[in-house]
Amino acid sequence: MTKTVGVIGGMGPAATLDFLVKLHHATGARQESDHLRVITDNNPRHADRNAAMVADGPSPAPLLVATARGLAAAGAEFLVMPCNAAHGWAADIVGAAPVLFVSMIDAAVVAVQAAVPGARKVGLLAVEATQASGIYHRAFAATGIKVASPDMAAFMPLIYAIKRGDTGVEVRAAMAAQAQALVDAGADVILAACTEVPLVFAPGDIDAPVVSATDALVQATLKTARG
């Protein structure tokens, strides 16, 4: 028997759907009943993580906690959250939810180390809230890996364009250029550490190793569900 997954979603909705599709395909099911039971709250009403972390915006913590408790009450046996920035409030979820919370940050750091053993610097394609919270900086520092950040003045408009539904050629080219600039600055590997990034950027778009935090969370979800 596998454990039931609870997904704290909606940040943004398309990124949550991308995670669910990737989880579906990664399961390797031979028949319908082999798939995981997944309870998803794809709620776009969570407070803006960037405004909360770097400005004076309202905190997303209360709704994150309520969502976590609701999913557990609905039958989820563990929780995942396909939003890197919202992990700045992971402690609130862990402290309030009655079930295990699987960290996307921890999964992504392990995936980077596995993809590029001996990596010294990771290019972090992540939004302002993720950068400001230091969640990846601390996690990578514990492994001796340095972090390089993109040009946020150029990167953030790309993320908001993707959230508006623009995944066209210009946005894709601009995201690849952001990643390439990090490689040129010495990054050994690129981490797509915002769940909007994989909607327009994938391994092969630049000539350097690329790790997706979404994919890392998919693998951690499968491992946890299978116990």
Determine the pLDDT at residue 166.
Answer: 98
**Class for the domain spanning 105-213:** alpha beta
Q: Which pTM value belongs to this model?
A: 0.97
Angle between helix 13-26 and 213-226 (nearest 10): 50
Which tokens go with 38? 């997944």
Q: Phi, psi at residue 125, to the nearest 5°?
A: -80, 90
- Look at the alpha carbons of 167, 27, 64, 133 in this order and tell me if their dihedral is positive or negative: negative
Q: How far is CA 128 from CA 49, 159, 171, 172, 188, in A?
A: 9, 11, 18, 20, 22
Q: Phi, psi at residue 185, to the nearest 5°?
A: -90, 5
The catalytic site residues sit at 83, 194
Same fold? 5-103+215-226, 105-213:
yes
- Across the chain, which has 227 residues, the per-10-residue mean pLDDT values are 97 98 98 97 98 96 98 98 98 98 98 98 98 98 98 97 98 98 98 98 96 98 97
Q: Which CATH number fits domain 5-103+215-226: 3.40.50.1860, 3.40.640.10, 3.30.70.260, 3.30.300.250?
A: 3.40.50.1860
Buried-exposed string 123-147: b where 16+ CB fall within 10 A, e elsewhere = bbbbbbbbbbbebbbebbeeeebeb
151 burial type by CB count under 10 A (0-12 exposed, 13-18 middle, 19+ buried)? exposed
Determine the pLDDT at residue 106.
Answer: 98
- Look at the alpha carbons of 37, 43, 48, 53 in this order and tell me if their dihedral is positive or negative: negative
3-state helix, strand, coil in the chain (%, to 5): 50, 15, 35
The ranges assigned to domains in the chain are 5-103+215-226, 105-213
